[in-house]
């Protein structure tokens, strides 16, 4: 039997009414889930034993099954199985203070980012992306997206315990850079963001710590403007001109670069938010100096930050990561053109493993 999600506030109200529980119990339950980072009712010791047992019969906190976990020093990669048998993935990324990538304002021992999936597979079919190769199965629900955070928070709590200030370690940043195109699952993503940001029955994340990454779905971006969704926006640009973008991303035909630029300029005007441009570095394809110069022309005078992502090699796709020296030359041209640029480093590189790459790794491991 599929249990009801604990986030179904209506069902939880009903449950408490039937048992003639006082209204503050609902608040207490959500405190256990969001603040104490519990996902098993048995661990919720601020609730009576009877209540815990009753809740357990009807509700679940995480609505996904964990299938497998792989871990290295800087990441934990989690595969979840949905109730209807699909696999999705999330990645926890640990930013450690001793690493040179840390900004000075990040004094904490760990800043923890979670990369979540928004769909099973993806319909966009980008040339370089393994998720694209899987095709699209379905959208994830709000609660399936939130479940990835619930599980990660419990995992992090068990691994790291409390911070110096006595609060638990947990996810501080969420990025929609796992499987799927978040703006094609707009309503559920919007609802998931509400829970991420809100204080009551939510994670109280800062709006600056949530990032939507999109391949450039223009109606979705328009809707973000209209709904005044306050989180950060990353655009998977990957090419500074229409011809190259067409080659890499079939979606570019439906939403051409010029139209995309117009909507992004509206977005900047409306939100005053800087846009993050993701640009993938593929050898002999996207990494030529003349493309860097084109990118400068395109983004100069815009509120923009460029993130160069070395292409993540994988045997399913015959593309190659750019040479380090070509990435440096490319970066230098952008900087000389007045753009702010980061190159996704070896730690950040784990993050791109989220985009279908994990799936591939698992498949090949199982074949061995
Ligand atoms: N669909 C959304 C969000 C998920 S993809 C989007 O495309 O933005 C997250 C990021 O991983 C995107 O910037 C995507 O272009 C990048 N990515 C996909 N495959 C990659 C690969 N093989 N190497 C490096 N980055 C990759
Ligand atoms: Fe989909 Fe993003 Fe992969 Fe393109 S890069 S196929 S939009 S997940």
pLDDT digits (tens, 9 = 90+) for 253-303: 999 999 999 999 999 999 999 999 999 999 999 999 999 999 999 999 898
Mean pLDDT of the chain: 90
Catalogue the E-assigned strands of the chain. Answer: 4-5, 59-60, 65-71, 75-81, 87-96, 110-115, 119-121, 136-139, 173-176, 210-214, 232-236, 275-281, 304-310, 340-343
Residues involved in catalysis? 89, 355
Q: Which residue has the tokens 């815990």?
A: 52
Q: Which ligand is nearest to the CA of 133?
A: 2
| Domain residue ranges of the chain, discontinuous segments joined by + | 4-60, 65-367
- Which pLDDT score, from 0 to 100, does residue 133 have? 84
Q: Ligand 1 pocket test: which of 116, 213, 224, 361 has the largest number of ligand atoms within 8 Å of its C-beta?
A: 213
Which residue's CA is minimally distant from atom 14 of ligand 1? Answer: 236
Average pLDDT, integer, range 325-340:
97
Confidence of residue 107 (pLDDT cuts 50, 70, 90): very low
Q: Which ligand is nearest to the CA of 131?
A: 2
> Is the CB–ligand 1 distance for residue 213 below 6 Å?
yes
pTM of the model: 0.93
CATH of segment(s) 4-60: 1.10.150.530
For residue 5, the Cα-to-chain-centroid distance in whole angstroms is 21
List, chain by chain if needed, residues with CB within 6 Å of any ligand 2 atom. 122, 124-126, 129, 131-132, 180-181, 215, 236, 355
Q: Ligand 1 pocket test: which of 211, 354, 355 has the largest number of ligand atoms within 8 Å of its C-beta?
A: 355
Which residue's CA is minimally distant from atom 8 of ligand 2? Answer: 180
Residue 44, both tokens: 């919720």
Yes or no: domain 65-367 corresponds to CATH 3.50.50.60? no
Please classify residue 349 by burial: count the beta carbons closer than 10 Å to its beta carbon, then call 0-12 exposed, 13-18 middle and 19+ buried: middle
Confidence of residue 98 (pLDDT cuts 50, 70, 90): low
DSSP reduced 3-state for 309: strand
- Say if strands 304-310 and 340-343 run parallel, antiparallel, or are unpaired: parallel
- Which pLDDT score, from 0 to 100, does residue 23 have? 86
Ligand 1 mean position, distance from CA 26 (Å)? 39
Closest CA to 314 of 71, 127, 128, 174: 128
Cβ pair 349, 342 in contact under 8 A:
no
């Amino acid at each position: 039997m599929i249990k009801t999600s604990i986030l179904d506030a209506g069902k939880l109200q009903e449950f408490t009414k039937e048992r003639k529980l006082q209204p503050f119990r609902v608040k207490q339950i959500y405190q256990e889930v969001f603040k104490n980072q519990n996902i098993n009712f048995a661990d919720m010791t601020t609730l009576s034993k009877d209540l815990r047992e009753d809740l357990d019969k009807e509700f679940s906190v995480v609505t996904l099954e964990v299938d497998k976990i792989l871990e290295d020093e800087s990441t934990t990669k989690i595969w979840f199985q949905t109730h209807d048998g699909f696999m999705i993935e999330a990645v926890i990324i640990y930013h450690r203070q001793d690493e040179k990538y840390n900004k000075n304002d990040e004094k904490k021992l760990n800043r923890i980012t979670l990369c979540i999936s928004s769909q099973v597979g993806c319909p966009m079919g980008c040339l370089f992306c393994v998720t694209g190769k899987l095709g699209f199965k379905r959208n994830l629900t709000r609660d399936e997206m939130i479940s990835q955070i619930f599980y990660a928070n419990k995992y992090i709590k068990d691994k790291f315990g409390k911070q110096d200030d006595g609060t638990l370690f947990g996810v501080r940043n969420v990025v929609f850079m796992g499987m799927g195109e978040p703006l094609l699952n707009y309503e559920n993503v919007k609802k998931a963001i509400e829970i991420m940001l809100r204080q009551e029955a939510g994670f109280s994340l800062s709006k600056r710590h949530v990032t939507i990454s999109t391949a450039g779905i223009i109606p979705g971006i328009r809707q973000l403007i209209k709904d005044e969704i306050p989180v950060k926006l990353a655009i998977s640009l990957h090419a500074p001109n229409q011809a190259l973008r067409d080659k890499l991303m079939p979606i570019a035909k439906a939403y051409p670069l010029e139209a995309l630029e117009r909507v992004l300029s509206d977005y900047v005007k409306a939100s005053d938010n800087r846009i993050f441009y993701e640009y993938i570095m593929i050898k002999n394809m996207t990494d030529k100096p003349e493309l860097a110069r084109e990118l400068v022309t395109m983004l100069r005078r815009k509120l923009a930050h460029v993130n160069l992502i070395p292409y993540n090699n994988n045997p399913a796709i015959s593309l190659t990561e750019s040479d380090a020296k070509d990435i440096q030359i490319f970066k230098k041209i952008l900087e000389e053109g007045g753009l702010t640029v980061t190159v996704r480093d070896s730690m950040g590189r784990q993050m791109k493993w989220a985009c279908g790459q994990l799936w591939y790794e698992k498949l090949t491991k199982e074949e061995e």
